[in-house]
Amino acid sequence: MKLFPFQNTYVNLPEHFYERVEPAKVPAPSLIRFNEDLAGLLGLDRSTASDEEIAAQLGGNVIPEGSEPLAQAYGGHQFGGWVPRLGDGRAILLGEVVGTDGVRRDIQLKGSGRTPFSRGGDGKSPLGPVLREYLVSEAMFALGVPTTRSLAAVATGEPVYREEKLPGAVLTRVASSHLRIGTFQYFLAQEDHEAIRILADFAIERHYPGCGSEGNPYTAFLGQVIERQAALVAQWMSLGFIHGVMNTDNMTISGETIDFGPCAFMDEFHPEKVFSSIDRNGRYAWGNQPAIAHWNLTRLAEALLPLFDEDREKAIGMAEERLGEFEEQFKEAFYGRFRAKLGWRDKKEKSGEFVDSTLEFLSGGKVDFTRFFRELTRVAAGEPEGGLIALSKDGVASAKWLQSWRDSGEPDVDLMQSSNPILIPRNHRIEQAIVAANGGDASLFHRLADAYRTPFEIGSDLADLEQAPDPEEVVCATFCGT
């Protein structure tokens, strides 16, 4: 019954990097969904385990053979406020698996009970956030965005108490690692420079092996993380995605999207859109995400300073040089993504300004972001323009915008089709799937999980999933729900 060919390296790091802890036992684990594609990529031999055995292992009742379960230590800035000790309070790393693609990935249970980092929490997760993370992380992957993934959702048969009594569940999260900016900050706060070096070497070996041979591996490492995060945030924004809780403990060193708590894909576009119920000042609004990423990366640079140079002034100069590259990298990536959405393969004169004015037009007309680019793709392919014009509250502005787009040259339809998804995991659909599943019916969850695997393809029976929400369906706020 050996499902996972575990090879664990994190456990060989110094003892104060983690706490050994076992998942909590649950009364009645049952498999809601198992991601066969991902299992294939991980090289798991599915024939070695029945659904019951998988549920026992991924629900917490049986520790998989070869696992050395642990909770990782980290700190972080939450909404700008420093918290020296966060850590995996409701997550347990089972171990690492090297996939058929040669990539080493963490296998982690989320919602599997208390750990030494749980503080006042119960370490559990209601079913809703598990299904939400499953749907959104797998949709992100299918959209081509670097992200942690979901291997399984297991119902525990145990109630979880929040404002109300809810069914409990455990998610199996797969990530190229769970190293966060907050992991580095944790050791900086303790002035443990030796630990920072060990952690940086570990991160370089795992994610950026090329940095090892650079003149200064650590500044090269910072530069790589900055580059990946600049590209990531630009890609999120090109899909109308708002992460919602970009705390430094929720920003990975690998450049993967992590922690799908109160995130959301926008329906109507507005640059100041916020969904998270706890983001009262709009810190993590759609348009603030690059500035926040830069702020977070500055915290990473601070933690790495002792490794850059013994001379602090010199080290700061080196950090500033790297951090200074973020803005240009972000802009390149952002405008490049939007040019592709508009059908332009190459930079045109003033194409950046055109993108800016397009976004202004979209927010002014309260236009549905995803539908707009989908309808534009249709128009580019020679279909009638009525659908596009009707999306805006201001038909005159719409017609004017369309004319200016037409005047700017021949669009590349293939590029538009591969840049403008037809399906995104819309809030209202996720909400409906969760409500139904809480009532015992997981069919909508499965339908969505199947549909979101091919977001750029036209599905014959998926027209309802393409649509923006009706006014009574609109979801205005999202919750961590943990």
Q: How far is the CB of 69 from ligand AMP (least distance, A)?
A: 15
Write out the binding residues for ligand AMP, residues 112-141 only, by CB under 6 A: 117-118, 121-124
Amino acid at 352: G
The site for Mg ion, by CB under 5 A, has a size of 2
The SS3 of residue 184 is: helix
Q: Which CB atom, from 71 or from 465, has the smaller least distance to Mg ion?
A: 71
Q: Which of 135, 90, 95 is nearest to 3 (CA)?
A: 95
C-alpha 452/C-alpha 448 separation (Å) is: 6
Q: Which CB atom, from 29 or from 261, has the smaller least distance to Mg ion?
A: 261
Q: Where are the alpha helices (DSSP H) in 252-350?
A: 289-308, 312-323, 326-341
C-alpha 52/C-alpha 56 separation (Å) is: 6
Per-residue interface string for the shown chain with Mg ion, residues 194-233, x marking contact by CB under 5 A: ----------------------------------------
The residue annotated as part of the active site, out of 249, 259, 267, 279, is 249
Q: Which CB atom, from 280 or from 464, has the smaller least distance to ligand AMP?
A: 280
Decide if 14 contacts 198 (C-beta within 8 A): yes
C-alpha 21/C-alpha 92 separation (Å) is: 7
Decide if 154 contacts 127 (C-beta within 8 A): no
C-alpha 443/C-alpha 451 separation (Å) is: 12
Q: Which CB atom, from 427 or from 482, has the smaller least distance to Mg ion?
A: 482
Q: How far is the CB of 204 from ligand AMP (least distance, A)?
A: 25
Decide if 222 contacts 317 (C-beta within 8 A): no
C-alpha 137/C-alpha 149 separation (Å) is: 5
Per-residue interface string for the shown chain with ligand AMP, residues 70-99, x marking contact by CB under 6 A: ----------------xxxxx---------
The token pair that represents 289 in the structure block: 């995400």
Is residue 368 annotated as part of the catalytic site, yes or no? no
Amino acid at 282: G
The site for ligand AMP, by CB under 6 A, has a size of 18
Q: How far is the CB of 97 from Mg ion (least distance, A)?
A: 22
Q: Is 125 in the site for Mg ion (CB under 5 A)?
A: no
Per-residue interface string for the shown chain with Mg ion, residues 253-282, x marking contact by CB under 5 A: ------x-----------------------
Q: Which CB atom, from 251 or from 307, has the smaller least distance to ligand AMP?
A: 251
- Positions touching Mg ion (CB under 5 A) are 250, 259
* Contact residues: ligand AMP, CB under 6 A: 86-90, 117-118, 121-124, 245, 249-250, 259, 261, 480, 482
